[in-house]
Amino acid sequence: LWCHPPRDAGSDTSSTTLTWCMTELIRYPATMARAQAEVREAFKGKTTITEDDFARANLSYLTFVVKEALRLHCPVPLLVPRKCRETCQVMGYDIPKGTCVFINVWAICRDAKYWEDAEEFKPERFENTSLDYKGTNYEFLPFGSGRRMCPGTNLGVANMELALASLLYQFDWKLPSGVEPKDVDVGEAPGLIGKKNTGLLVHPVSRLFDPVNA
């Protein structure tokens, strides 16, 4: 299976994040195993996962996986630019009226001042914490904050989590022969969207479920 996000502005960020989720899970087999175990236990006996099934399930670890992918690979690294409406001073710097400000949320989400092992993919960091992407925790702003925060946050995350749960439930995922998890490229392509620099090449191994005994 060749996973590479399409070049469509309406779905670019969601498909990009889903690609990063799969990339990091492939790189960390123990994390993949834990996420799959949670999903398969929650939907045991199902042949497919519906939106209603997903809404009733409690998939806390899957949520942590998506959060960590959003932290480590912010879909929009510089957020939407802001324009200063009046001259002001911030941290001793004079900001003239009309100045265009870009927020480097990619750097903030990888800042060792706020994140332990900031460059590592560790979904467990979100356990036992209320840290969320709702715009009130300024060290974690993949969707921005305030009145110009992404209006599609809830829909985008729900779509990503359902798609990811389905991929983990229905298939086991293998790298091509001779490729180790540590060999998977995590370079990011330049641009407004933080896409993976190269496509993710993986082999899906279908799991056949017995609706009664699965």
Residue 175 DSSP symbol: P
Instruction: Identify the domain containing residue 40 by its residue range.
Output: 2-206
- For the stretch 43-81, pLDDT in tens is 998 988 999 999 899 999 999 999 999 999 999 999 888
As a whole number of Å, the CA-based R_g of the chain is 19
Q: How many domains does the chain have?
A: 1
Torsion sign over Cα 40, 41, 47, 53 = negative
- For the stretch 157-193, pLDDT in tens is 988 999 999 999 999 999 999 999 999 999 999 888 8
Asked whether residue 213 is assigned to any structural domain, the reply reads: no
Q: For residue 155, what pLDDT is reported?
A: 85
Question: 6-10, 17-21, 76-80, 169-173: which range is least confident on average?
Answer: 6-10
Asked whether residue 212 is assigned to any structural domain, the reply reads: no
Residues 95, 99: Cα–Cα separation, whole Å: 7
pTM over 0.85: yes
Asked whether residue 101 is assigned to any structural domain, the reply reads: yes
Asked whether residue 72 is assigned to any structural domain, the reply reads: yes
Asked whether residue 50 is assigned to any structural domain, the reply reads: yes
State yes or no: pLDDT of 9 exceeds 80.
no
Which CATH number goes with the domain that contains 122?
A: 1.10.630.10
